[in-house]
Chain A
């Protein structure tokens, strides 16, 4: 086989760095959306590679539902202190207090849907014209269709039937006032690529990605971390389980998996053998076949 091509991780890394630099070069006021999950942690690492020894040409933005895993927030704050970059936090609680959105009630109440409002509000208040995110095309079939530079109208909406052509590595970031572009530098990475990269680069992660003991309840067939944010009743039985998280989002919609993977090598072999996709652990995608597409059309990341 040809030897004159880069190894796949080098290729993916180089592409992501290129995309980050295109954002820096093409936009006035970009931002990097930082969720605290492994994909956005990887993005931060790639941004270090793209711009050091200079500063990032954009702040990090965290949309905080208030229903966080403590470990994520701790990680976020330590990371910001370490890299010395700017962090902007948009609070879903503020949107609720301002009466812009209404908290859900009932057993399956979650703030997951509300964060779209806070995100769009934060984009508008800061005048961001490009938002970098860690979404990958292998995550979900609607995401598999999205461009690297994905234009959103002034309502934050994605129109899947009218995407711009995107040829070679020429990304057209031209927009009208009020519109913005979502940019996905790790579009072409798989979950396993991200983990292999994290291992190769020795990137630290929040502890919840590794197996640990935690009080859980089983809901709709999935293991959920017991927390004050989850509305529990007498039917919910709390059990101590050995778990880890494959993706990290709001506590009310991120399910755990039973696991004894204490080290990154264990995680990689667990994922390589796994027969369930990563988003299979997200309650929010289970609702319908087009759940993700509908949310994206409404401005969700």
Chain B
């Protein structure tokens, strides 16, 4: 059995938390004591039924205000799959928390309120989903109960959204009309929406195919830790521990260590007391090389047949996540894989206007702004373009005054 990670996104009050609650409730994934707490809570829907959103709105402030502030993670499984759900906030103020949840998602469910159609937050979240290269997108047109389950309303929203998807290069979209409140097309097919012939949301989630890049030419192993017991019997033991971020490694593969550029051959792959024949993407292993070369944390071991770019002047998409605006005169830190080095934002190329999705040349990066920059790092980074290999193309900017993560970088190309 595999795991599908997905996120709910969309504008505030579109019903994301309610949808998650409904999904859990109708698939019988809520335990008795949690249900008891749900019934006992004084936050109820207008008609007196239980408010399913409080299943994920776990913070006091969230329950008081009736909105989601930070991502909540929920877990459930069916016979087909295990699911890790990230319920993201819709409010623009908490975009950074949405980005946090979205960065690890295989699939995004973007909700649209059937009464309101596509709004600015729908576009913003769609843009982020496309930038972050989330493989699959589901558009859940919610609150269908409030528009008399109208097919026309649904079709108009589909048409509107397809224009945005085309601009954003989102190719794999599935549209589902739902009512999270009433349960239409969430777990069970809807009787009220008889004109819709597609799958219920759960059925879709159970069957959608997600791929992982196991091509050996993309083999990447960021070194986290060097295992050196230095005991008498293991005097010469030297293993490089890390998690294969993409591709796969086999014994005898020719590898290059970056940034040094030294080459060698894999002599052994270990996972504790076993020696797997192959280290696949996602596996945490310890590898040994034939030659004794200097490797430490922050280096990356790659397949010599497909090396990444190595550069210290890099063009990247940037999503700014701090209330203090970007300051090009400051030195920040950039963390890419297991490496953290100093960096500057050398140039701001453009920002993107969320309403029009056009370029905007207002040179001022503030909270939630998205655009393109050129960074200069103190040491070269060994990266792949994010759009080709997200596992080796994402990095974060840290403000060294506050130590807070302030920017998400999707690296594009060397411009040295």
Contacts and interface: CB of A to CB of B under 8 A. Distances in A.
Interface in A207-251: none
B7 to A, nearest CB: 13
A137 interface: yes
A160 B284 contact: no
B3 A166 contact: no
Interface string A107-119: 0000000000000
A81 interface: no
B58 A21 contact: no
Nearest to A9: B1
A54 interface: yes
Given A2-B212, A25-B338, A280 B31 contact: yes
Interface stretch (B171-179, B186-194, B401-409): B401-409
B395 A170 contact: yes
Contacts of A105: none
Interface stretch (A11-19, A30-38, A71-79, A126-134): A11-19
A280 B37 CA distance: 11
A164 B404 contact: yes
A2 B59 contact: no
Given A7-B2, A276-B31, A145 B297 contact: no
A175 interface: yes
A287 interface: no
B129 interface: no
Contact of B71 (A8, A145, A190, A289): A145
Contacts, number: 191
B72 A18 contact: no
A1 to B, nearest CB: 7
Interface string B328-347: 00000101111010000000
Interface in A46-70: 48-55, 57
Interface residues of A, number: 62
Contact of B396 (A55, A167, A176): A167
Given A275-B31, A280-B31, A167 B394 contact: yes
B227 A51 contact: yes
A144 interface: yes
Contact of A167 (B100, B228, B338): B100
B72 A145 contact: yes
Given A274-B31, A293-B60, A8 B1 contact: yes
Contacts of B100: 147, 165-167
B193 to A, nearest CB: 27
Interface of B: 1-3, 31-34, 37, 41, 55-61, 63, 69-75, 80-82, 84, 96-97, 99-100, 103-104, 207, 209-212, 214, 224-225, 227-229, 231, 234, 237, 241-243, 245, 271-272, 280, 282-284, 297, 321, 333, 335-338, 340, 390-391, 394-396, 398, 400, 403-405, 408
Listed from nearest, the 6 A-B pairs whose CB atoms lie closest are A141-B58, A280-B33, A17-B284, A174-B403, A21-B224, A275-B32
